[in-house]
Structure 1
Amino acid sequence: MTMLEYQQEYWKKSIDYWQQTNPFFSSFSRAYRYLDTLYQLQNPRPKWSTPNNIIYEHQTLRLRHFSNQRHNDAKRPVLILPPQAGHHSNLADYSPSQSLVRVFHRYGYDVYVAHWVSATPEFKELGMNDIIRLTDEAVDQIRERTGIYKIHLVGQCQGGWQAGIYTSLYQDKISTLVTAAAPIDVQAAPSAIVEDAGLPMEFFKFLVAANNGLMSGKYILWGFKNMQAEEHYVRKYFRLWQMIENDDEDGIKRFIHFENWYEYTQMLPGRFYLDIIKNIFKENNLTKPGSFKLDGRPVDLRNINCPVIIMAGKKDHITPPAQAFALKKYISTPPQDVVEILTEGGHIGTLMGTEALREDWTAVNEVLQLAV
């Protein structure tokens, strides 16, 4: 045993002794652990859980390739589009046990993820048309790399309507479209986000102007938290204290891991954010064929005719199921080629929850096996 290890063991035994013999010391120790845990969360740093390489980079896009170590066959590649809602894109690869990337790996797919990085002032004028352009660049990189003409496209939350728009413009490049917890018809069911979008456009422009043309993810995060204020400002901290009292080390690790992802925020191009507010949440333009154009091309979901899988969460308060499942009404895909999956979880649970990944996303993969 080294001197350092001896000292660590000595102090551990000393603390254990005082905790058992002195109730005040035990309470003080728990309080210190509680505050120390919160201190660790002051500078969140999300990480990817599965080895990957950046194979293409342009503006706010980093295209990551997650090489499949289990399978080397030429199965059709999958591109995952995580949401651009102020959070980190590693939502698609949150942890070894909660990784959508690894679910697709188990079924032999070649997996790619669009990693959207925090925007700098240089890119504040990127709009929705630019994000679709960058998506197309990612798709073309995959097609060129693999030699496969059509790929599977998977969109999570806002990445879902992004995937829908992209497929409507480039249907010839997409084999199957998967959307999960994606707002398509925001008038199909009430939600807090749609209510908030009812504020004057000047309010959203002010938020962007406050950051010199960028939209801060912190503002978006505050909006999400305020939808469940008691949970985010009270209950979760009470649960942390209970975990410390019960010496629930696994629970504490899970708490820290999630908070490191949830509390990390990044900047969005201001113009892109305002395009979203206007076209998706204020005017509900995805339900109005040709109501807006991207690079001169009208957006019309009726151009989608490939097999489509739509996922929604039964308890989703951000994107209620009706908003997500409405996609089937606006596409040309035959009804027999549209699969609807209702998970038991909420919004984040549908995207990366253990149960959803084990059951619902596995079902997605089973369906994709049948796609040509």
Structure 2
Amino acid sequence: MFYWNPWLDLYAKQVKFFVRLMKQPEPYWSTPNEVSLEKDTLRLRYFPNKHKKLGKPILVLPPQAGHHSNITDYSSNQSLVNTFHKYGFDVYVAQWLSPNYKHKNFDISDYIRLTNDAVHNISSRTGHDSIHLVGQCQGGWQAAMYASLFPQKISSLVVAAAPINLEAERGPLNDFIDNLPMSFYESLVASGFGLLKGDHMLAGFKNMDPHKHYYKKYIDLWNLIWLEDENGLERFDRFTNWYELTQDLPGKFYLEVVEKIFKNNGMVNPGTIELNDKIEAKDKCVDLTKIDCPVILMAGEKDNITPPNQCLDMKNHISTPKKDIIEITTKGGHIGTLMGKSALKNHWTTVSKTLANIA
């Protein structure tokens, strides 16, 4: 006689879901788009607004921290692209591609060059000589750097959860980077034969909170399986797909960022970061005082990757009038500030409304 065992049923469900998790993560976009430009490690994606349009488009620079750029369009109900669409904007997103070995010597200048190529492409398509520029996390210092070098091309600047002044408020990442010599980071690049492997960055982020990533994560998963929470499992699956889909970085670029931005705090020390002839700017020294456009600074109250003041202190290093600087602090952490439902509904909506009133 066969006796039904509920534990076997639960075990079967658990195995079934873990098989789903074991599949290779795949990149995806949630909103229809087209490729406007592809060059080197940049694929510029255009998300047309089919309903209503304002004048100047938005270019989003996502983080370059080992993850896929679709954080800007994470899901149909959790998308920065869709938030901007609701307020009439055409949106462009710089999808940063994983480099191959021919790109291993790409540096900061190359990424500013590619950003300039994206801006030029958008201007050519739209006829606008300036755009709204939005930078998230590592894309935030990149956006600020670009705006300081090409201020005439930027109508407004949004910097979210970005490390700008590393000494304004120290966090775990400060100590981690400061306590290790450059030779350590050079060895990481050497192990990737000139590339910084995305798996190394992912391990570093996980090790900043090992309890969360190596223990609590699986307790939460077990509870979702036990409760047969299909919606929760779908969210878990989606986030795991994004978080575990790692991308590499050119080794030279990575080492420059570590040394010039994180160790020498170069974003707020004019003269520390001087770019080369790969870019067209007359003055190739990064100097935030050259930024005078309207600026929105956004930080997460619980952000342990980029503590709030590292981003918000940028207001003290730019020439934008105080009345044209908006500071926003979310209740979330790092990722929640960039693409959490609450941040998108409340804080990024504020950003959208503000940009809509800027000529």
- Picking from 206, 216, 220, the partner of 2:197 is 216
* Structure 2 CA distance for aligned equivalents of residues 293 and 19 of structure 1: 75
Deviation string, structure 1 residues 38-72 (Cα, Å, up to 9, x no partner): 323xx11121101111111110001100011112x
Tell me which residue corresponds to 1:320: 307
> Which residue of structure 2 lines up, in the alignment, with residue 293 of structure 1?
274
Offset of residue 23 of structure 1: 2.9
Say which of 48, 68, 76 aligns to 1:67.
48
Question: CA–CA distance in 1 between the matches of 2:255 and 2:234?
Answer: 37
Q: Is the 8 A contact 2:271 2:286 kept in 1?
A: yes
Q: 1:170 aligns with which of 137, 145, 150?
A: 150
Q: CA contact under 8 A between 1:33 and 1:244: conserved in structure 2?
A: no
Give me the whole-angstrom Cα distance separating, in 2, the residues matched to 1:201 and 1:291.
Answer: 17
Give the distance between the partners of 1:24 and 1:182, measured in 2 at CA.
47
Match of 1:367?
A: 354
Q: Distance in 1 between matches of 2:61 and 2:295?
A: 15
Closer, same or farther: CA 21–135 of 1 in aligned 2, 3 Å: same
The Cα shift of 1:32 comes to 2.2
d(CA) in 1 for partners of 2:2 and 2:166? 54
How far apart are residue 233 of structure 1 and its match?
0.4
Partner of 1:56 in structure 2? Answer: 37
Identity among equivalent positions (%) equals 50
1:180 is matched with: 160
Report deviation, 1:101: 0.4
Deviation at 1:24, TM superposition (A): 4.0
TM-score (norm. length: structure 1): 0.92
Q: Which residue of 2 aligns with 1:25?
A: 8
1:263 to 228, 244, 265: 244
1:217-256 matches, within 5 Å, as 217-256=198-237
Distance 1:47 1:25 in 2: 34
Whether 1:110 and 2:81 are equivalent positions in the alignment is no
1-side partners of 2:35 and 2:256: how far apart?
A: 28
* Residue 280 of structure 2: aligned partner: none
Q: Which amino acid aligns with 2:119?
A: V
Which structure would you say has the larger Rg? 1
Q: Would you say the 8 A contact 1:61–1:114 is kept in 2?
A: yes
Q: Given the superposition, is the C-alpha separation of residues 30 and 107 from structure 1 closer, same or farther in structure 2, using an over 3 Å criterion? A: same
Per-residue Cα deviation, 1:154-205 (whole angstroms, up to 9, x for no partner): 0000000000000000000000000000010011112122112111001101
Report the Cα offset of residue 271 of structure 1: 0.6
| CA drift at 1:292 | 2.2
Q: CA deviation at 1:291?
A: 2.1
Residue 152 (structure 1) aligned to one of 122, 132, 143:
132
Amino acid at match of 2:339: M
Q: In 1, are the aligned partners of 2:196 and 2:250 still within 8 Å (CA)?
A: yes
Structure 2 distance, partners of 1:338, 1:215, is 36
Q: Structure 1: which 5+ residue stretches go unaligned?
A: 1-17
Decide whether the 8 Å contact of 2:54 with 2:356 is kept in 1.
no
How many angstroms apart in 1 are the aligned matches of 2:7 and 2:344? 44
Q: Is the 8 A contact 2:56 2:128 kept in 1?
A: yes
Structure 2 residue 175 is the aligned partner of structure 1 residue 195? yes
Offset at 1:20? 9.4
- How far the C-alpha of 1:267 sits from its partner, in A, is 1.0
Letter of the aligned partner of 1:151 in structure 2? I
Letter in 1 for 2:230: E
Alignment root-mean-square deviation, CA: 1.5
In the alignment, which residue of structure 2 is the partner of 1:282?
263
SS of the equivalent of 1:114 reads strand
Contact 1:312/1:342, CA 8 A, preserved across alignment: yes
**Could you say what secondary structure the match of 2:142 adopts?**
helix
Relative distance call for 1:241 and 1:76 in structure 2 (3 A) is same
**Are the counterparts in 1 of residues 296 and 327 from structure 2 also a CA contact under 8 Å?**
yes
Q: How many residues align?
A: 352
Decide whether the 8 Å contact of 2:10 with 2:225 is kept in 1: no
Query: Is contact 2:264–2:272 with CA below 8 Å preserved after alignment?
Result: no
C-alpha spacing 1:253/1:317, structure 2 compared with 1 (3 Å):
same
Asked if the contact 2:45/2:92 (under 8 Å) is kept, the reply is yes
- The AA in structure 1 aligned to 2:252 is R
- The one-character-per-residue Cα deviations of 1:79-109 (angstroms, maximum 9, x if unpaired) are 0000111100001101001100000001000
| Contact 1:19-1:25 within 8 A present in 2 as well | no
Change (3 A) 1:21 1:168: same
Whether the 8 Å contact between 1:85 and 1:158 is mirrored in structure 2 is: yes
| Residues in 2 aligned to 1:371 and 1:136: alpha-carbon distance in whole angstroms | 22
Distance 2:9 2:269 in 1: 63
Query: CA 1:32–1:70 in structure 2 vs 1: closer, same or farther (change >3 Å)?
Result: same
- Write the distance in 2 (CA, Å) between the matches of 1:301 and 1:179: 13
The reply on whether 1:89 has 2:69 as its aligned counterpart is yes
